[in-house]
Structure 1
Amino acid sequence: MSLNKNYILFYFLFFFSVVGFSQENYTKENDSISIKKLDEVVVTGESKVMSLSKKLFAVQVLDQTDIAKVAGNNLADVLTYSLNITITPDPSTGRSTVNMFGLDGQYVKVLLDGIPMASDNGVGNNIDITQINLEDVERVEIVEGSMGVLYGDNAVAGVINIVTKRGLEGDKAWQIQLAVQEETVGSEYEFFDEGRHIQNFKISNRLNDKVSYSIGASRNDYAGFYNGFRGKDYVNIEDNVVVNDGLRGTEWSPKEQLTAYGNLNLSLGKHMFLYKLQYYDEAVTVYDRNVIGRLDSGTGLVNPTALDELFETDRFVNNLTVSGPINGLTTYNFFFSQQNQKRYYQQYVYNILQQGIESYITDDLSQSSEIWYSKGFVSNIVPKSNFFNLQLGYEFTHQSGFDAIATGEYSNDVVKNTLENYDFFGVADFNLTDKLSIYPGARLTNNSQFGNKLIWSLSSTYNFNETLKLKAVFGSAFRAPNFEELFFYFVDANHNVQGNPNLQPEDGISIFLNLENTFKLSDTGFLKSAIKAYYFDINEKIASVVVSDENDRSLFTFANVDYSKILGFSWENNVKVGNWQVGLGGTYMGESTEISTSEANNNDYLWSFNLQSTLGYTLPSLNTTFSTQLKYTGKTQVILDGIDGLVVGQTDDFTWMDASIKTNITKDLGITLGARNIFNIVTVNASDVPSGAHSSSAVSSRLFGNGRSYFFKLSYNLNFN
């Protein structure tokens, strides 16, 4: 991508600040992102809640230290090494989504400070996690287990909550944070035109003990992954004739992301207010491999052009969180949100020799979604009882909009639709003994499309002693169809792709068990070990199907036709001894998927083994931390196109490894350098599983990585009054 004023400004601000303030403010104070001891209890988006949320769910926390040691810029950078999470990238769109316990992004709810995030086709689900910037993030909470009662439909595998920072730490009134980061993409790098280039800026101010605010901006410029392709200005001309050799463009499409945000924290007595305003802009450019070789009538020379595309996403987020006590230990939490997302689509004629846009074929708004959201609940309703407690709440979602694009082409026949949810939920807390508690819960959801449905759960905890604890979650595997599956509309002379407004929610059962213990190894050393088991049995899964419409045309739509079962076991261990930090975990998981529309089905379990390990060492005398992360991902199921329609296939196993060094030159100035994807993964084979006479046994490959890459990050924090 070309040099621009924003780029120069970010670098100028950064280096000016380093030169002007670094030596002047050098003291022996602790690093601002040093390891902090977090409370064992982490609750997604809730300030004060009853015991149910404090001890029911298994929670993994990624704090600022975890983010910093991998130089994480977006959520995909830091979730890669979570044992039961797989990141699924799409090189054509640039999107990356989460797969958790074998279930894709439709079954994982992603929250920002407890509020579901807007996506291209839903609310909180199937989120592109590369669009979530981490510069303003305090921690990431990964809550495991079916949480539909507390967090609504689609929270089947769990919830990922991004908790943003709340004001300043310490006694300083002002803080300025600047960072620049340069990365190669595989072996490809040029300072402006190849690689990945990131700049971040944030300023925070505490007016007094009750009021603080911050504003910031981030730019992430990913120039694409060429991988042997020649870029947008490549053309092969022989004897005044264009030869289409398929080498134009890039393997992974380039994209540029801009994020701007502002936070306001207000304390009125014991009542807390957090307001967040965020603007996000993303531009993804797709270069056409095919070059059109027209002759210029004036010169008689070939004038090569290509039909390129630009997908631009704009998102505005307004979130307000209010919490505090009602009476004594009884507390309330309220969430309000208005989010607006628009995706613009351009198709244009690009003149390769002149290196400019010749004309526009399409320039339209292709997708629009506006979301109004509110949630509120009262916790610890019976605070004086040692036996019984209760939490009651409501949740409301209103989504309106349209989606008029498919397979990279635009439809002028726009249909706008509305989807609403009115939910009421409650969870009881029965402390049967000092060790045993059970938590029955239910949520009644009223949906404007499919009416009333019940989501239920029965959970329990048993504390054998102060360190050995068992947690169990048994409940609905409830997933509602998203906006795209219900209302997608793209019909013209060549396409007939429509959503199905008659879809019903998926349902079934989910079981999650977590047995954990903490062993003390020394005065400061410990081993935390957890054994987990999980099972999902999902009926009436929503899948793409081909049927005939009223005009006997092939209609590509959605239907409740698939069935899926997932059974898994995992063992996770984390050790801290002295300056060493070690993590080792493994999971053994089987997936069974049946496609009722396919003649050749294979509903046997495909078993795979995943391994995750981390190793870190801190050298206090040099303020330096060395860390490595490794993850082995076994074979997984995937749905592929076969001769007779969809078939259940699999992707091969692969191993991913990163390593980094983070050091603090001064109190304010830090450097992180390292390597990603050390084993140089680019593609992974994917093939169907032979299961009958009609199986095609086709073999293809899926793009997973950009190859071995290297990164360098320079960060600067200035605190003053």
Structure 2
Amino acid sequence: MLYAQDSLRTTQLDNVVVTGQFEPLSIKQSVYQVRTISYAQIVRRGATNLQSVLATELGVRFSNDLALGVSDIRLMGMGGQNVKILLDGVPLLERGETREALNQIDINTVERIEIVEGPMSVMYGSDALAGVFNIITKKYDGHWNLEARVLEETAAREYDPFTDKGVHNESVGAHWQRGKWSAGGSVTRNNAGGWNEDHYSSDLPSQPMRWHPKEQWLGMGNVGFGTDKMTLRYRLNYTDETITSLGTYNPRVGQAIDKEYITHRYNHQLQADWNLTERLVFNGVASYQDYSRRTRTLLYDMATGATWLSPEPGTQDETDFSMAMSRGTFLYRLSDRVSLQPGYDVNLSKGAGDRIDREREINDYAVFAAAEIKPASFLNIRPGIRFIHNSVYDAPPAVPSLNTKIQLSSRLDLRLAYAYGFRSPALRELYFSFHDASHDIYGNENLKAEYSNSFTGSLAWQALTGAGRKDQLTSTLAGFYSTFQDQIILATVADPSMPSGVISRYENITRSRTIGTTLDNNYLYGGLQVSLGFSYIGVSDPLKSQEGVLELLWSPEVRTNVSYTWNKPGTTVSLYYKYTGKSSNYETVIPEGSTEPITRLASRENFQWADFTVAQRINRLLDLTVGVRNLLDVTTLRNTSLDVGNAHSGGGDQPMSYGRSYFLSLHVHFTK
């Protein structure tokens, strides 16, 4: 159960994928360029969340908002609002542009991660401009499956066992299957005690903790029924998360101002697969999700220990979102060379809260169709189109795509694609309203949908492969070019009526573009697995795009992973490394002594990240993983940004981590 052979004896091209496919098939057969992260790779990382698994992937970057205690993702130069996060093919509800749901998925239930780069709007609708992350959960064999995991990790040099200082993960799960029925469930606790780079002579902090304490409970329950022709599965996921911001102690009044960010998330999911005939298959999914986030601002009396809610305006807030969705597809095989897949997609979203102008809703209705045509054994053509009606904005009249796969030889595959992508304005962008002493932020009911035209291509070469070979080498060279129209940004707008002279408002910008290339190599020899990749991506800045300037700001990445497995003792040693180049952006600031905003170029320094792990199989029931995270002890990146005008801007140096940490994980598993 050390998971060595699943990745060492087969190349990634043999892995089976489902994202965007008519039916499960290998990566080599797919018309899309798909990356996968296997269960073996996830376990070896000793991770407690998906961010730490994805952070060293090519083209993937994260940013941390320490004010709110959340992180956001970027893919191929595009922000989280352009990335679709799926859980077993179901889009996850988000409250805004930030992809918070990614770190609210229980990593202990994840089987693998599939990443498809480029627009997937025909299949998955809005937001899938940069690409899709599909989180595939575990499927079990056997009458009984029981597993438990305990992970303990330091926060830099700070640690207390099982609670407070450090990071603590405990999980237990069970799955039962008999005949046509199956059922299961799991509970996971994630606890982080927070961290500050300053050291105190007492328990009273001189300034707030940079990394907030977090308590997170994740629950899951499922039941399934299956026959030879039909399967039905229901699953409920629940998240209870509290992030605590411990405020500065003010000795003059003997009080501290603390904040709690409390999140509750329910995700009901029903999936059905039905083989109606030998040629006709139905796949359907329905989901209802409910999300609430509450901000509680508390005054804490240091002398008495008493706490009470702050009476100041704007210090208490609650936001509620819900989403009901249903998607269904029919796969009809006309012949061995032609397959058709028509489908429908309905999304009904609601939102209300203190910072949203009244209860609002957006309803989206779509029908789509795709085909796979194989006019020759070496050629696969997949056209697709989507038609949309939206209750709030004028949706694009049609969303087309065209993907092709050409087998140039038994070892060489060429993929070329064009796709039209779109992103509908989110409820927050349309109706948000937030005002305090430092900020005036407005939504914009006149926003239009973003859309893009994207061209992608890749060449996959199995340089060393074949029966009887001990070594295997695969190389993939890929490139993309995308242009965007009406991209939505939070812009700084002059307003002489405001004390600051400016407001922040969501606006459409005319044009922007991204362009990039990646080279990924994977080599296997016996127990050795080596991957080496490079990317170079250019992005035009939204502020300059408003001025009609599409100057590209470039940033490189280099990634390498090395693992070696000794099968007899059951030991795997792994090193993960990634270099992330300097990134730049333009920002609008108001110089001191002036009321006129100016645009200036800011940059964040490059950095290197490395993790080291050792995974050991103790026996058939028990695995041990130990490791060092953030070997190079990166904490903060130098950032020349001066933009502190937005609600949670990246002005000033950018936090990356609490430093080098050490972890130990025990995983118990039993199958009968």
TM-score, with normalisation over the residues of structure 1?
Answer: 0.84
**Superposition pairs of residues 370-385 of structure 1, within 5 angstroms:** 370-379=322-331, 381-384=332-335
Q: How far apart are 1:445 and its partner, in Å?
A: 1.6
Opposite residue 217 of structure 2, the aligned amino acid is L
Structure 2 unmatched ranges of 5 or more: 591-596, 643-649
Among 359, 366, 370, the alignment partner of 1:427 is 370
Whole-angstrom CA distance in 2 between matches of 1:714 and 1:649: 44
Whole-angstrom CA distance in 2 between matches of 1:488 and 1:269: 49
Alignment deviations for residues 200-249 of structure 1 (CA, whole Å, 9 cap, x no partner): 1101111x2321111110011011121115499416xxxxxxxxxxx233
Whole-angstrom CA distance in 2 between matches of 1:360 and 1:718: 50
Alignment deviations for residues 371-416 of structure 1 (CA, whole Å, 9 cap, x no partner): 101001112x243252x332111111001112435xxxxxxx8611
1:616 aligns with 2:563: yes
Among 143, 146, 149, the alignment partner of 1:179 is 149
Whole-angstrom CA distance in 2 between matches of 1:105 and 1:232: 40
1:275 aligns with 2:226: no
Among 511, 516, 526, the alignment partner of 1:563 is 511
Among 443, 447, 465, the alignment partner of 1:499 is 443
Alignment deviations for residues 548-583 of structure 1 (CA, whole Å, 9 cap, x no partner): 789778543211026322111111001111000000
The residue aligned with 1:241 is none
The residue aligned with 1:73 is 48
Q: Secondary structure at the match of 1:452?
A: coil
The residue aligned with 1:17 is none
Opposite residue 268 of structure 2, the aligned amino acid is N
Whole-angstrom CA distance in 1 between matches of 2:69 and 2:625: 25
Q: Secondary structure at the match of 1:146?
A: coil
The residue aligned with 1:218 is 188
Contact 2:394 2:448 in 1 (8 A): no
Among 154, 164, 176, the alignment partner of 1:193 is 164
Among 623, 637, 658, the alignment partner of 1:684 is 637
Q: How far apart are 1:149 and its partner, in Å?
A: 0.8
Q: How far apart are 1:539 and its partner, in Å?
A: 2.1
TM-score, with normalisation over the residues of structure 2?
Answer: 0.90
The residue aligned with 1:650 is 603
Whole-angstrom CA distance in 1 between matches of 2:5 and 2:428: 43
Whole-angstrom CA distance in 2 between matches of 1:231 and 1:390: 69
Q: 1:455 to 1:60 in 2, by over 3 A?
A: same
Whole-angstrom CA distance in 2 between matches of 1:628 and 1:101: 24
Opposite residue 448 of structure 2, the aligned amino acid is Q
**Superposition pairs of residues 128-143 of structure 1, within 5 angstroms:** 128-143=101-116
The residue aligned with 2:594 is none
Q: Secondary structure at the match of 1:312?
A: strand
Whole-angstrom CA distance in 2 between matches of 1:509 and 1:76: 29
Q: How far apart are 1:597 and its partner, in Å?
A: 8.7
Alignment deviations for residues 433-464 of structure 1 (CA, whole Å, 9 cap, x no partner): 32223222211121111133122212211111
The residue aligned with 1:578 is 526
Q: Secondary structure at the match of 2:52?
A: helix
Q: Secondary structure at the match of 2:259?
A: strand
1:118 aligns with 2:130: no
Opposite residue 335 of structure 2, the aligned amino acid is K
Alignment deviations for residues 622-666 of structure 1 (CA, whole Å, 9 cap, x no partner): 111000000000122345442325545321111100000010111
The residue aligned with 1:101 is 76
Whole-angstrom CA distance in 2 between matches of 1:435 and 1:45: 21
Opposite residue 223 of structure 2, the aligned amino acid is L
Contact 2:641 2:652 in 1 (8 A): no
The residue aligned with 2:622 is 669
Q: How far apart are 1:40 and its partner, in Å?
A: 3.6
Q: How far apart are 1:107 and its partner, in Å?
A: 1.0
Whole-angstrom CA distance in 2 between matches of 1:33 and 1:400: 45
Contact 2:519 2:534 in 1 (8 A): yes
Aligned length in residues = 647
Q: Secondary structure at the match of 2:414?
A: strand
For the aligned residues, what is the CA RMSD? 2.8
Q: How far apart are 1:617 and its partner, in Å?
A: 0.4
Whole-angstrom CA distance in 1 between matches of 2:395 and 2:208: 49
Contact 2:543 2:586 in 1 (8 A): no
**Superposition pairs of residues 199-238 of structure 1, within 5 angstroms:** 199-206=170-177, 208-228=178-198, 230=200, 233-234=203-204
Contact 1:477 1:536 in 2 (8 A): no
The residue aligned with 1:706 is 658
Q: How far apart are 1:326 and its partner, in Å?
A: 2.3
Q: 1:70 to 1:51 in 2, by over 3 A?
A: closer
Q: Secondary structure at the match of 1:432?
A: strand
Whole-angstrom CA distance in 1 between matches of 2:625 and 2:215: 23
Whole-angstrom CA distance in 1 between matches of 2:494 and 2:34: 47
Q: How far apart are 1:110 and its partner, in Å?
A: 0.4
The residue aligned with 1:447 is 390
Contact 2:350 2:362 in 1 (8 A): yes
Q: Which has the larger radius of gyration?
A: 1
Whole-angstrom CA distance in 2 between matches of 1:33 and 1:112: 25
Opposite residue 383 of structure 1, the aligned amino acid is L
Q: How far apart are 1:337 and its partner, in Å?
A: 0.1
Whole-angstrom CA distance in 2 between matches of 1:582 and 1:596: 40
Contact 2:38 2:113 in 1 (8 A): yes
Q: Secondary structure at the match of 2:252?
A: strand
Contact 1:148 1:455 in 2 (8 A): yes
Bigger mean CA deviation after superposition, 54-63 or 704-713: 54-63
Whole-angstrom CA distance in 1 between matches of 2:90 and 2:235: 11
Q: Secondary structure at the match of 1:428?
A: strand
Report the identity percentage: 27
Among 604, 609, 628, the alignment partner of 2:575 is 628
Q: How far apart are 1:598 and its partner, in Å?
A: 7.1
1:338 aligns with 2:276: no
Whole-angstrom CA distance in 2 between matches of 1:534 and 1:319: 34
Q: 1:414 to 1:614 in 2, by over 3 A?
A: same
The residue aligned with 2:218 is 259
Q: How far apart are 1:197 and its partner, in Å?
A: 0.9
Q: 1:345 to 1:682 in 2, by over 3 A?
A: same
Whole-angstrom CA distance in 1 between matches of 2:286 and 2:274: 15
**Superposition pairs of residues 134-533 of structure 1, within 5 angstroms:** 134-166=107-139, 168-169=140-141, 171=142, 173-191=143-161, 192-206=163-177, 208-228=178-198, 230=200, 233-234=203-204, 247-289=206-248, 291=250, 293-294=252-253, 304-361=254-311, 366-379=318-331, 381-384=332-335, 386=337, 388-405=338-355, 415-453=358-396, 454-490=398-434, 496-520=440-464, 523-533=469-479
Q: Secondary structure at the match of 1:486?
A: helix
Bigger mean CA deviation after superposition, 488-497 or 630-639: 488-497
The residue aligned with 1:604 is 551
Q: Secondary structure at the match of 1:135?
A: helix
Q: How far apart are 1:719 and its partner, in Å?
A: 2.9
Alignment deviations for residues 265-292 of structure 1 (CA, whole Å, 9 cap, x no partner): 2203321112111110110111223525
Whole-angstrom CA distance in 1 between matches of 2:611 and 2:494: 49
Q: How far apart are 1:348 and its partner, in Å?
A: 1.0
Structure 1 unmatched ranges of 5 or more: 1-29, 236-246, 295-303, 406-412, 690-697
Q: How far apart are 1:310 and its partner, in Å?
A: 0.5
Contact 1:323 1:332 in 2 (8 A): yes
Q: How far apart are 1:494 and its partner, in Å?
A: 7.7
Whole-angstrom CA distance in 2 between matches of 1:232 and 1:415: 46
Whole-angstrom CA distance in 2 between matches of 1:424 and 1:468: 35
Whole-angstrom CA distance in 2 between matches of 1:232 and 1:462: 67
The residue aligned with 1:301 is none
Opposite residue 537 of structure 2, the aligned amino acid is M
Contact 2:584 2:603 in 1 (8 A): yes
The residue aligned with 2:671 is 719
